[in-house]
Structures are given as C-alpha cells and as structure tokens.
Structure 1
Amino acid sequence: MKQFFTHILALLLVVSLVASEANAQQFSKRKQYNSVGISINGMNYFGDIVPKVSIPSLRFAATRLNVGLNATHRFAPRISARVALAYGRITGDDEKAADKSDPDARFRYHRNMNFRNDIFELSAVGVFDLIANRNNYIKRPDFVPYVFAGVAVFHHNPKGEVRGGAVGDLASGSIVNLQPLRTEGVDYALTNFSLPFGGGVRYKLNKSFDIGLEIGWRKTFTDYLDDVSGVYVDPATLATAEAKYFGGGITRTDDGTFINFRNPGEMRGKGNEKDWYIVTGLNVNYILAPRVKSPKFR
C-alpha cells in the first residue's frame, strides 16, 4: 500500500508539472507537430508466481515479447500526449520460479502453478520532457530524458498448461482458459484499467526520426493476471476435472510426485497484493512534418 501511494504521488507530481508548464509557455501552432512510432519490448509481470512475492521480484527468463504502435502530439516545449496500442505476453511458472529449499518459496514449489497471459492494451499518457524544445521539430534537442503517466484499458486471458498426464478429455500439454474454471470461486473480469507510468530517453537520429529506450510500469486493479489470488476452495464446488486440476490437484511433493487437492482455506496466493506488469524496450518514432501555410497577400 505504501508503494501504491508513492506511485500516486509521483503521478500527481507529473500532472502538476504538466499543468504548470502548459500555463507558463506560449507555444505557437507552427511549432507543434505529430509523430507516429513502433515499439519492440520485453514484458514481465509481478504477482503470485514469481521467485519472491514482492514488486522487485521477477524472473528474467520469463520475459516475453511486446510490440506496439503509437501516435504523439507535441503541445508545448516540454509537453506531449501519446496514445498507444500494444500486445504482449506475460508468463509465470512455479516449477521454474520457486526454490523448494527456500522456506519462503517452498509452498509455491508445492503449489506448482503455471500460466501465460496475452494482454492487449490501449493507453493514453502525458509525456513531460526534462529538456525543453522551444523551437520547431527540426531544432529539437539531440538527447531528451522524459517521464510519463496516464491511464490504460487492457484485455487479458490467463491460460494454464496441463502437465504430468491427461486430465479429463485434455492431453498433457493442452492449454486451457483459466477464468471460466473459477478455480477460486471468483468470476473476475478480463477487461480492466491500469495506471501506466515510467520514463525514458529519446535520441534524435535525424530531422525526421527519433529512437528511444523506455521502461513503464502498469499498476493494475486485479489480482488475477495469473489466476492466483486467495485460498483453495472446496473441490466439491468445482464443476469439472480441469477446474479441480488447476484449482489444486496439481500440488507437488518434494520427491516430484503429486498429491490430492489441498485443504480448503489454505493459502493459494498472496491475496493482499494486486498484480503488475512492466514493459521495457526500444521505440522508433517518425515525425510528421507540419504543413506550413504560405502567407496570403491581398
């Protein structure tokens, strides 16, 4: 919770800087311009299926591809607005992330959960440059660090892999949509809002192209990116063999064998932390040169 308020304060600081800059600067329309771009990124997540259940903990081997398209409009010497559409995948696997010799991770090793989740995101953010460009796009600075914050809507769909033999009508290796199984008795939404924020650096390649590096966090309001949140439920409440399997029947012992369903009410996930995802990578932007109207003579 403390970390959440820290991020909210950072967001408010960015908003206040943008507002003050907008009021303080007179930026002619002749100097405003648009740009379009693409991004190629790595994508990770923070949640219940990581080495340590904390925000700084992630497994770099679980990094997956994220790609995006964006459009940006510059309003003022330091201020731009950007909309972006992106697609990427996050993954988690107790078999690879949890160390059974670590007392804090032991129960996650036994839990033996795995998931992958494809995320489609539409975002709108304000961008605040730490170095102002008071000229036109041709004379923009060569190197600009910046911060950003805004809002996004995303659609996700966690899936799990059947392992160790057939389950019901599913063969080992089958990929199953987890949300319809209601593994914790919760019918969570697959479309949610998030708060994207972060920073980056932008470099001017020539008069028309910029290249940049950026890292952005997404504070979500769901704990089910990985389909794991609270406690194990009574297996009698789960309707199918697949639901029982992913709801608790895949529990592993120290010698690698599997045991029956965990006791209802036992901890399945952290429960008091929302999931996050993080996007880090490279973006290339092309500046759309503004049309300059010729003066009219009478």
Structure 2
Amino acid sequence: MKNFVALFILGVILLSLVPTDAEAQRFTKRRRYASIGVNLNAMNYFGDIVPEADFTSLRVKSTRPNIGIEYTYRMYPRFSVRGNMFWGRITGDDRKSASQNEEENIPRYKRNLNFRNDIKELSGTMIFDLYENRGAYTRRPDFTPYAFVGVALFHHNPKAYHDGGQDLAEGYYELQPLGTEGQQVGGNGYASPYKKIQIAIPAGIGFRYKLDRLWDLSFEIGWRKTFTDYLDDVSGQYASKADLLSMGGEKGKAAAILSDRSGQSGFPGAMADPSGTPYSHLPGYGVKGEQRGDVTDDDWYIITGLHLTYIMPVRTRGPKFR
C-alpha cells in the first residue's frame, strides 16, 4: 500500500508539471516531433516465490529477457507522451530461491513451488524531462534525466513445470484454468478465478543520451504496480486435494499435484494426505486452510533496459514570396 501511495504522489507531481495553455502556444507545432524505438530489457518480479517475503527481494538469476517497441510524441519543452508494447517473461522457483541449509528460507524450500509467466503489456505513459528544450529537436540536450508514470493493460498466463511422475506427464501446465487454490471448485466458498487480463500502474526513471541528430539511446527502470496477487499463481491458502480431484480427469489430477509440491521437495518428514488422496505432503503444507502465500500484498514486475529511438524529422516550410 505504501508503494502505491508513492506512485500516486509521483503521478500527481508529474501531472502538476504539465504545461499551461500559454506555454503550449509558445511551444509551436513546428517544434513538436515524434520518435519511434525498440527496447531490449531485463525483467524481474516481486511476489510470493522470491528469496524473502519482502518487496525489495528478487532473485537475480531469475532475470529474463523482455523486448518492446515504442512511439513517443514530444508535446512541450519538458513533456512527452509515449505508447509501448512489451513482451517478456518472469519466473520463480522456491528450490532455487531458497536452501534447506538456510534456516530463514527453509519454509520456502519446503513449499517447492515454481512458475513462469509470459507477460504482454500495452501501456501509455507521461514523460517529464528534468532539462527542457524550447528549440527544435536538433537543439535537444545531450543528456536528459526523466521520470514517467502511466497506466498499462497486460495479459499474463502463469505456468508450472512438472518433471513427471505421480501419473502426470512431464511439461509446463497452465495454472489459471486449474484453480490450484480451489477457485474452480464450486460450492466450497473459494474465491473466483483470477483474470488473465489485468491493469497495472507503470512508473519509473531513466536518462536519455543524444547519439546524433536523429538518434537517442535511453536507459530506464520501471516498476509495474499490479492489482493481482496471482502473477505466480500463489496467494492465499491451500485447497483440499480431494476437492481439486473432484473436478475429474487430467484437470483435477494436475490441480491436486501442482497445488502442493512439498512432498516432492526432498525434505524429510513427508506424510499421507489427510483428505485421502494418494499424494504426500510435509507438515504445515498442502492441507486445506493452511497458508500457501501472502494474501496481503499484490505482485509487482519490473522492466529495466535500453531504448534506442529514432526521431522522425519535422518538415518545415519557408516563407512564401509573391
């Protein structure tokens, strides 16, 4: 919640800096210009499957690539609007993020969940430059720090890898249709299934370097505040494996097996499932009502990288003589 408040305050500050009508008239249309660009980024996430239950905790080795394209329109001396399309992947694995030799991380190691999630984002942001340019694009500063804030629509689809055994084939399984926390089981008081299409608030900082007359290179880091706790398919409590199996077929079997992986963690002490299913679990895991994730905090993802942009030259008309 504190982070969302900080983003909101940032948005208010940026909006307050939008030029007035008088300034807009001084910055003539002849000085406005557009640019197009490509982005090469790295992608990480903050959520339930990270080394520690902390917003700042991430696993560097879980970094995955992200690519994008952008269109930016310079409206005023300090102010631009930008549209982006991004595609990238986030991932997490309890067994790689934690260790059975680290006491504080043993609970996550025992839980033994993993996921990957391909995210497609369409966003619109407002960019505020620290240094203004009242002249033509050719006179823009060589180096410009900036901040941005906006809104994004993204599609996500978390999957988990199962390495075979337990009468379930090896491979990646889509988790949202399975309802691993009981969302798809009717009449049991479970929450509704989460949506694959979600809204996020992107905000961040960067700096832009003028390569030559028409080319810029930028480095930026942007956080995405989401309104879902299911980027990793982990949020609340375990469901009963018997209830999950009641969905029938491969779907019910996959839901029961992928909802609780503690019995496969290799940690000693596994016991039979109390609901009567043939799947084992560790004490404190896999039983209906026991904590599976942290329901109090929504997930975040972060995009960090380079933006190469090309300024589309503005044609100017000279005065006409009769």
- 1:62 matched to which residue of 2? 62
Contact 2:113 2:261 in 1 (8 A): no
Give the aligned residue type for 1:274.
Answer: D
How many angstroms apart in 2 are the aligned matches of 1:202 and 1:253?
46
Q: Does 1:114 align with 2:119?
A: no
Where 2:29 maps in the other structure, the secondary structure is coil
Separation (CA, whole Å) in 2 of partners of 1:253 and 1:176: 19
Q: 2:204 aligns with which of 194, 198, 201?
A: 198
Q: 1:21 to 1:211 in 2, by over 3 A?
A: farther
Aligned twin of 2:253: 241
Residue 312 (structure 2) aligns with: 288
Which SS does the other structure have where 1:105 is aligned?
helix
Q: Does structure 1 residue 177 correspond to structure 2 residue 174?
A: yes
- Separation in structure 2 between the aligned mates of residue 22 and residue 199 of structure 1, nearest angstrom: 26
- Report the AA paired with residue 246 of structure 1: L
**SS at 2:77 equivalent:** coil
Is the CA contact (8 Å cut-off) linking 2:238 and 2:288 kept in structure 1?
A: yes
SS in 2 for 1:5: helix
Aligned equivalents of 1:246, 1:96: Cα separation in 2: 17
- Report % sequence identity: 46
8 Å CA contact 1:111, 1:252 repeated in 2: no
For residues 253 and 152 of structure 1, do their structure 2 counterparts lie closer, same or farther at Cα, with a shift above 3 Å needed? closer
Q: In structure 1, how many angstroms separate the alpha carbons of the residues matched to 2:22 and 2:113?
A: 52
Look up the SS of the partner of 2:177 in the other structure: helix
Instruction: Give the structure 2 partner of residue 45 of structure 1.
Output: 45
Q: How far 1:258 moved relative to its partner?
A: 5.7
CA shift for structure 1 position 5: 1.2
- The amino acid that maps onto 1:235 is K
CA distance in 1 between counterparts of 2:153 and 2:78 reads: 26
Q: 2 CA distance for matches of 1:203 and 1:212?
A: 6
Whole-angstrom distance in 2 between the partners of 1:258 and 1:188: 31
Aligned 8 A contact 1:21 1:79 in 2: no
Larger deviation, residues 255-264 vs 132-141: 255-264
User: TM-score, with normalisation over the residues of structure 2?
Assistant: 0.87
Matches within 5 A, 1:212-291: 212-238=218-244, 239=247, 240-252=252-264, 255=267, 260-261=280-281, 262-291=286-315
Partner residue of 1:188? 194
TM-superposed CA distance for 1:22, in Å, is: 6.2
SS in 2 for 1:119: strand
* Offset at residue 21 of structure 1 (A): 5.8
Query: Is the CA contact 1:208–1:287 (under 8 Å) kept in the aligned structure 2?
Result: yes
Cα displacement string for residues 226-278 of structure 1 (whole angstroms, at most 9, x for unaligned residues): 00000101112213211011111444456468652421111100111000000
Offset of 1:169 from its aligned partner?
Answer: 4.3
* C-alpha distance in 2 between matches for 1:22 and 1:211: 30
Gaps of 5+ in 2: 184-192, 272-279
Residue 227 and residue 22 in structure 1: after superposition, are their counterparts in 2 closer, same or farther (change >3 A)?
Answer: farther
**Structure 1 residue 101: deviation in Å?**
4.0
Q: Which has the larger radius of gyration?
A: 2
Aligned-pair CA distance for 1:142: 0.3
For 1:134 and 1:291, locate their aligned partners in 2 and report how far apart those are by CA, in whole Å. 17
CA contact (8 A) 2:50 2:59 kept: yes
Cα distance between partner residues in 2 of 1:169 and 1:127: 49
Residue ranges of structure 1 left out of the alignment (5+ in a row): none
Alignment of 1:130-169 (within 5 A): 130-163=130-163, 165-169=164-168
| Equivalent-residue separation in structure 2 for 1:87 and 1:175 (angstroms) | 19
Query: SS at the partner of 2:30?
Result: coil
Instruction: Give matches, 1:68-107, under 5 Å.
Output: 68-107=68-107
